């Protein structure tokens, strides 16, 4: 967990009697009702639909400014705009926000830029082209449906789609400057300088803790990110695109991947600074918290937390079939011997009780790491951490972190695990 900022610590100590919500892995912050107008700069493919949906289900639901009236926001009488409390969209400009009366709380969310743009490709490729019902994507994106991953990212088509060309940098620059430019150096400098003006920056990698922290700022209790169904999730549409597998494969050559990094160098730099700010100001982790696993065991809701449990041979945990950017990473599993249905086994210390592995696709299906866990290495009174180092030159599709129980004893594990960047080689600007 990242170091808590002194500012947040002073607040926590000075209002230690303030009511607080239970928290899942983030710093305890005081709850306070905000009277500010909420402005959400929604970056594409960063769980924005889910965040907006959760706000809609909260006390802000009746105060949503209609998204289809965005074009009129800057020109409506201020007393009419004042009726609304929540404003969100992909491309707000400063002159639009200036027409919203009163104090405002501005926030946004970031995602690893390479993962975001690959997710955007998946979304465009899966978009159903339904001419009869007038359901079509943006005209310039229609060719994506006929291209493989390699063909698309090495083509000139992406030159015409802003989402694939330093999208974060351009969006933030245009928001603060009310203008467009092709000067990437200027855009990057301004975006880096103005990033700190957001009242909150969330990270998709640490989504649960981000929602916890944001909820305390606006007095909203968000649903558990580990169990809530995903909103606007990209899925494969059979027969729609022979190359698209709903995120199942990211199959490009090393040269094409290098081209992607160079084309989005400003976004990579901006994302690194956003992570540092989120860590310093809100106590968010720079590690990725992976959840959404499947299991052949059962879900046990204990006194401390929710855990997976299994007392027979089989996979205690597998999945979640996510994407992970290229680089060197450390995946940390946690295990303990359980005693729910039978007393602790008497086993030889060398008996293998579990097998940990990490598999996925980075140009080919392969096993990135594997480790046998013996009875002597785990305990019954606490969780023991086991770290597996993995390395990939290309992004990993369908990342699967698995715990196989041999059936020698009962085992349990938390419902999420941590993936840390050991060395972010591919995230350095070229």
Q: What is the pLDDT of residue 303?
A: 59
Q: What is the pLDDT of residue 397?
A: 85
Q: What is the pLDDT of residue 118?
A: 87
The string of pLDDT tens digits covering residues 20-68 is 233 333 333 333 446 899 999 999 999 888 999 999 988 888 899 988 8
The position carrying tokens 């405002």 is: 104
Q: What is the residue-wise DSSP string for 315-340?
A: EEEB-EEEEE-SEEEEEEEEEEE--S
In the predicted model, is pLDDT for residue 302 greater than 70?
no
Tokens found for residue 296: 């052949």
Backbone angles phi, psi at 169, to 5 degrees: -60, -45
Tokens found for residue 27: 């710093």
Question: How does strand 37-41 pair with strand 86-89?
Answer: parallel
- 350: burial class by Cβ within 10 Å (0-12, 13-18, 19+)? exposed
Query: By the 8 A CB rule, do 314 and 296 touch?
Result: yes
Interval 253-261 mean pLDDT: 93
Tokens found for residue 421: 């960047």
What is the percentage of the chain residues whose pLDDT exceeds 90?
A: 53
For the ranges 7-11, 98-102, 122-126, the lowest mean pLDDT is seen at 7-11
Q: What is the residue-wise DSSP string for 379-404?
A: -SSS-EEEEEEEEESSPEEEEEEEEE
Q: What is the pLDDT of residue 230?
A: 59
Query: By the 8 A CB rule, do 49 and 88 touch?
Result: no
Instruction: Please report, for residues 313, 324, 358, the alpha-carbon distance to residue 330 in angstroms, rounded to integers and kept in the order given.
Output: 26, 12, 10
C-alpha span between 40 and 49 (Å, rounded)? 11
C-alpha span between 94 and 186 (Å, rounded)? 18
CA angle 212-12-277, nearest 5°? 55
Q: What is the pLDDT of residue 34?
A: 63
- Report the predicted TM-score, pTM, of the whole model to 2 decimal places: 0.82
Domain boundaries, the chain: 6-111+176-218, 114-164+231-286, 289-427
| Interior/surface letters 211-227, b for 16+ CB within 10 angstroms, e for the rest | bbbbbbbbebebeebbe
C-alpha span between 350 and 427 (Å, rounded)? 41
Q: What is the DSSP letter of 59?
A: T
Q: What is the pLDDT of residue 17?
A: 30
C-alpha span between 178 and 185 (Å, rounded)? 17
More confident residue, 20 or 236: 236
User: What CATH fold (topology level) applies to the domain 289-427?
Assistant: Jelly Rolls (2.60.120)
In the predicted model, is pLDDT for residue 218 greater than 50?
yes
**368 pLDDT tier (thresholds 50, 70, 90):** very high
C-alpha span between 231 and 228 (Å, rounded)? 9
Neighbours of 75 (CB within 10 A): 10
Average pLDDT of the residues of the chain: 83
C-alpha span between 256 and 149 (Å, rounded)? 10
């Amino acid at each position: 967990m990242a170091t808590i900022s002194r500012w947040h610590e002073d607040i926590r100590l000075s209002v230690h009697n303030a009511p607080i919500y239970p928290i899942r892995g983030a710093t305890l912050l005081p709850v306070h009702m905000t009277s500010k107008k909420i402005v959400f700069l929604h970056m594409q493919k960063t769980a924005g639909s889910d965040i907006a949906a959760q706000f809609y289900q909260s006390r802000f639901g009746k105060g949503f400014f209609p998204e289809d009236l965005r074009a009129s926001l800057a020109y409506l009488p201020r007393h009419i705009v004042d009726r609304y409390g929540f404003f969100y969209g992909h491309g707000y400009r400063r002159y639009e926000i200036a027409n919203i009366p009163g104090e405002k709380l501005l926030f946004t969310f970031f995602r690893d830029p390479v993962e975001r743009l690959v997710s955007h490709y998946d979304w465009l490729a899966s978009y159903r082209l339904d001419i009869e019902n007038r359901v079509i994507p943006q005209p310039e994106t229609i060719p994506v449906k006929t291209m493989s991953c390699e063909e698309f990212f090495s083509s000139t088509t992406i030159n015409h789609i802003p989402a694939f060309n330093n999208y974060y940098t351009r969006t933030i620059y245009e928001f603060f400057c009310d203008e467009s430019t092709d000067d990437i150096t200027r855009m990057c400098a301004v975006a880096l300088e103005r990033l700190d003006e957001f009242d909150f920056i969330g990270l998709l990698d640490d989504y649960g803790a981000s929602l916890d922290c944001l909820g305390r700022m606006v007095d909203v209790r968000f649903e558990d990110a580990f169990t809530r169904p995903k909103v606007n999730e990209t899925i494969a549409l059979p027969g729609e695109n022979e190359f698209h597998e709903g995120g199942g494969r990211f199959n490009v050559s090393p040269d094409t991947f290098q081209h992607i990094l160079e084309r989005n160098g400003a976004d990579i730099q901006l994302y690194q600074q956003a992570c540092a700010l989120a860590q310093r100001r809100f106590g968010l982790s720079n590690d990725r918290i992976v959840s959404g696993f499947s299991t052949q065991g059962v879900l046990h809701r204990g006194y401390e937390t929710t855990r997976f449990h299994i007392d027979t041979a089989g996979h205690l945990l597998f999945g979640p079939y996510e994407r992970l950017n290229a680089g060197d990473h450390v995946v940390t599993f946690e295990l303990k011997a359980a005693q729910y249905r039978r007393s602790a086994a008497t086993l030889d210390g060398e008996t293998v009780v579990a097998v940990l592995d990490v598999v996925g696709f980075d140009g080919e299906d392969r096993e990135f790491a594997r480790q046998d866990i013996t009875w002597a290495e785990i305990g019954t009174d606490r969780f023991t951490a086991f770290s597996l180092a993995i390395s990939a030159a290309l992004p990993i599709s369908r990342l699967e972190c698995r715990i196989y129980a041999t059936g020698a004893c009962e085992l349990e594990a938390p419902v999420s695990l941590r993936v840390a960047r050991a060395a972010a080689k591919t995230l350095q600007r070229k």
